Every structure is written in C-alpha cells, then in structure tokens.
Structure 1
Amino acid sequence: MFIVTLTYTAPLERIDGYLPAHRAWLETLYARGLLLMSGRKEPRDGGILIAHAASRAELDAVLRDDPFAQAGLATYAVTEFVPTMTAEALSAWRAQ
C-alpha cells in the first residue's frame, strides 16, 4: 500500500487548467483497482492518493502518466506501508 503526496509547483490557475485531465487520469486508476482514495490537501497546495499497487516500480510508472507530472506542475513523495490494522470497512486491504 502506498500514500502519495502531491505538492503543486505552479500557481493554482495553471493547476486548474489541467484538473479535468488529472481527474480523467485518476478515473482510469480507479477502474484498474489501483486507487482506493484521493483528494486535495487543505490548504490547497497539492493532493493525496492512497494506492494499492503491486510494486513501487508499477506506481512510479503510473505517476509519470499524471498530466500534472507531464506538465511539470507537481512533485510526488511516496510512502510505502503495510496496513496491519484497519477499520472493518477496509479489512480487505489488511496485511495477512
């Protein structure tokens, strides 16, 4: 499991111009089962992705396809973790 922190490197006006493409990219990741949740940070200086990728290499390849990354609008910090405890609704993602 991975937590991805996006930090914007451009003004929000530029970010907003790429937001529809970024959201479409996110939708493809949800359809593939790669994302569990996503959303913007408060204050709005980036976003958070919770991803269930098979490997860090797979995740890195996917992140390179983000329209924000391709336009140089964000940096990405990735933290891998093993969810040993979860709420019951998230039990399918607990490590065994």
Structure 2
Amino acid sequence: MFVLELTYTAPVERADALLGAHVEWLDEQYAAGVFIASGRKNPRDGGVILAAGVDRAEIERIAAADPFSVEGVCAYRITEFYATKTAEELAPYREQLPS
C-alpha cells in the first residue's frame, strides 16, 4: 500500500485552477481500483492519497500523470508500507510481510 503526500510548490490559486482536471484524474484512479481515499491536508498546503494494488513503478507513473504534477504545482512524497492490520471494511487490502 502507498501513502502519497502532495505538497504545493506553487500558490494555492494555481492548484485551484487545475482542480477540475485533478479531480478527473482522481476519479480515473478510483475507477481503476487503485485509490482508496484522498483529501486535502489541513492546513491546506497539499493533500494525501491512499493507494493499493499496484507496484512502486506504477504508482510513480500514476503520480507523474496528475495534472498537478504535469503543471508543476506540487511535489509528491511516496511512502510504501505493508497494511498488515486494517479496519474490517478494509480487510481486502490487508497484506503479508514479505519473507
């Protein structure tokens, strides 16, 4: 599983101008079954996305296609972790530690 942390590198007004395209990109990843949750950080200096079901190379490709990335308004920090324990509703996303 991955935590994608977005941090704005441009004024929030530039991000707002791209918000529609960013939301369409988010919707595509939800429809593909990759994104589990997403939202703005508080204070509003970026956002966070939880993703699963793909490898590191694919998640990096997906992040690079975000209109925020393409237009240079945010930087991504991608953290991979093993979701060995989850709420029951997220049981399909539980992972085993590698051997």
- Aligned ranges 1:16-95 → 2 under 5 Å: 16-95=16-95
Q: Where does residue 14 of structure 1 map in the other structure?
A: 14
Q: CA deviation at 1:95?
A: 1.2
How many residues of Structure 1 are paired with residues of Structure 2 in the alignment?
96
Structure 2 segments unaligned to the other structure (5+ residues): none
TM-score relative to the length of structure 1: 0.97
Structure 1 segments unaligned to the other structure (5+ residues): none
Q: CA deviation at 1:93?
A: 0.7
Poorly superposed stretches of 4+, deviation over 4 Å: none
Give the CA RMSD over aligned residues.
Answer: 0.8
TM-score relative to the length of structure 2: 0.94
Q: Which amino acid aligns with 2:71?
A: A
Q: Which amino acid aligns with 1:78?
A: I
